[in-house]
Amino acid sequence: MITLKSEREINQMLEAGRLLANCHKEIAKLIKPGINTFEIDQFVEEYLKTNGATPEQKGYKGYQFATCASINDEICHGFPRKNPLKEGDIVTIDMVVNLNGGLADSAWTYAVGNVSERTKKLMNVTKTSLYKGIEQAIAGNRLGDIGYAIQTYAESEGFSVVRDFTGHGIGPTIHEAPQIPHFGSPGKGPRLKEGMVITIEPMINEGAWFSQMDENGWTARTVDGKLSAQYEHTLAITKTGPLILTPQE
């Protein structure tokens, strides 16, 4: 069942989202060669605690960390770890913040030091594809309109869209109906309604879209060892259009 959120609920999620966005801005300053994702995870825990919030992912279905930290060919759900990040790597930090019961979910891919032109292109196309999806998140449109906008753009730039993981409805739990595929056909799927709160979180691969699961049962990575990037916002569908609840600008 797709639930619709009240203005009050959406405002609470926006408070969580503002905090999450500020946390990402702090992470951006920390990311450089030599730091490891375990330290970033600890920073996030501390940051949320200081600000009266909790990491909703920790303990979710047995997940052990505040953040997911997916490096290079890891598509999503990478475990924070003590291996230092290296110049030229990319790392996606993904987290769900709970502030007084309001949830917000946002992932961002960071470059570690200088990265290649091709890597920069993958990051830019992935971020732009997110905003192209968000533009379609309008009451009256259908779910397929979002996926179609993302897929046609990403593929026209020579990249591929991961099929095995989707965006989702969110609040009061992390994953609620509906699933939001980042590929699809225009005019297909459930109609979008005012009051829906969803995540859009395209995972875009440099090579093939296929994913394989690590032995840890969580981390998905590309089958060809090529890079994967991801940007994610939580947003509400409102009378006046999509309202990003995790805004960084």
CA distances from 41 to 9, 92, 215, 221, 224 (A): 27, 12, 21, 20, 28
The answer to whether residues 151 and 186 touch, using CB atoms and an 8 Å cutoff, is no
Out of ligand MF3, Co ion, none, what residue 210 binds, judged by CB under 5 to 8 A for its kind, is none
Q: Which is nearer to ligand MF3, 63 or 210 (CB)?
A: 63
Q: Which is nearer to Co ion, 92 or 222 (CB)?
A: 92
Which residues within the stretch 63-102 sit at the binding site for ligand MF3 (CB under 6 A)?
Answer: 63, 68, 77, 94, 96
Q: Site for Co ion (CB under 5 A): which residue of 71, 99, 107, 130?
A: 107
**Does the protein bind Co ion through residue 9 (CB under 5 A)?**
no
Which DSSP symbol is given to 60? Answer: G
Contact characters 60-99, Co ion, x per CB under 5 A? ----------------------------------x-----
**Does the protein bind Co ion through residue 145 (CB under 5 A)?**
no
Q: Position 22: which residue type?
A: N
Contact characters 107-126, ligand MF3, x per CB under 6 A? --------------------
- The whole-angstrom separation of Cα 186 and Cα 178 is 17
Contact characters 193-222, ligand MF3, x per CB under 6 A? ------x-x---------------------
- The whole-angstrom separation of Cα 23 and Cα 248 is 10
Residue 105 in tokens:
């979910």
Biggest CA–CA distance in the chain, Å, is: 48
Q: Site for Co ion (CB under 5 A): which residue of 41, 105, 145, 176?
A: 105
Per CB under 5 A, the segment of 37-45, 54-62, 208-216, 232-240 that binds Co ion is: 232-240
The answer to whether residues 202 and 133 touch, using CB atoms and an 8 Å cutoff, is yes
Count CA within 13 A, CB hemisphere, residue 157. 23
With the CA atoms of 223, 58, 105 and 19 taken in that order, what torsion angle do they form, in degrees rounded to the nearest 10?
-140
- The whole-angstrom separation of Cα 15 and Cα 12 is 5
**Does the protein bind ligand MF3 through residue 174 (CB under 6 A)?**
yes
Per CB under 5 A, the segment of 33-41, 104-112, 141-149, 183-191 that binds Co ion is: 104-112
**Does the protein bind Co ion through residue 243 (CB under 5 A)?**
no
CB burial of residue 42 (10 Å; 0-12, 13-18, 19+): middle
- Interacting residues toward Co ion by CB under 5 A: 94, 105, 107, 232
- Interacting residues toward ligand MF3 by CB under 6 A: 57, 60-61, 63, 68, 77, 94, 96, 105, 174, 199, 201, 232
